[in-house]
Amino acid sequence: MKTFTDKVAAITGAGSGMGRSLACELARRGAHLALSDIDEASVADTAAACRALGVRVTSQRLDVADREAVFAWARDTAATHGKVNLVFNNAGVSLSVPVATARQEDFAWLMNINFWGVVHGTQAFLPYLNDAGEGHIVNTSSLFGIIAMPTQSAYNASKFAVRGFTEALRMELDLMRSPVSCTCVHPGGVATNIVTTSRIDESMTAFTGIDTQTHRRRANKLIDVTSADAAARQILAGVERNARRVLVGPDARRVDKLVRLLGARYQAMVVWCYRRAAMSRKRACAATGARSAATESSTH
């Protein structure tokens, strides 16, 4: 897709982060928009910002885990806008928990949004993209759809699933010589609110030796690599060149090269890094305790 002018794009998770940035960037390029998010107020704010750029915008609250609701949204979007050319299955959540203590309901919550939400959006919009004669599906995986990490088994499972689903879909569309194509996006650390809204199981403290608030602070630092606006521009550049995969940010590109180089051996390296970090925390705690004891004895 060489131009976005007068195209119609549907975006999930458009209330904040990459979804909002994609919406605004597409609006600046002349695309009309159908926006959705679980947070009705935030997606309304995005819609208002995009309307100010002179394009036609519709918005609504949507839970992408609800298959019937997603299909209804697709029908309404096609009826209201007259066509649909692009769908960005962007909505996502995160969960940090060791496998041994993961609750089934938390696992299901995450998979229903991160994986089934992508499946629902793809299947709901694909007929309308075909009807338009030119279409593109953009499914958001993750850096963690390339590399696995301890305590991220559920998130890894969902993002590896999105990758496999999208790569299979791309091949099917190629085989059918369809007017629709698709791209799998692997963002590295993108500054969004996903950490703020993530679920962190209480068992994480015992497993990692880090309390929940410290875990969130460290995670926020790790994702503050690429701005959401820069990520949106990289994604749209990938759509323009019909890329099969888009690696967003320098961290995603580095990790992709690492996994290609090491293969499954990267897992041993990750374990070594985690153990080294744990030892550093223990030494820091011991030093802090020693200083506290020395201070207390000097006051008596």
Q: Is 155 labeled as catalytic in the residue annotation? A: yes
Cα torsion 66, 132, 84, 180 to 10°: value is 70
Compute the distance between CA of residue 58 and CA of residue 248 in angstroms, rounded to an integer. Answer: 28
Q: Which residues contact 224 (CB under 8 A, 6 or more apart)?
A: 189, 191
- Concatenated DSSP letters for 76-139? HHHHHHS---EEEE-----EE--GGG--HHHHHHHHHHHTHHHHHHHHHHHHHHHHHT-EEEEE
Compute the distance between CA of residue 139 and CA of residue 166 in angstroms, rounded to an integer. Answer: 7
Using alpha carbons only, what angle is made at residue 227 by residues 223 and 23, rounded to the nearest 5 degrees? 120
Q: Which of 128, 155, 266, 274 is labelled catalytic?
A: 155
Q: How many CB atoms lie within 10 A of CB 250?
A: 12
Which residues does the annotation mark as catalytic?
A: 155
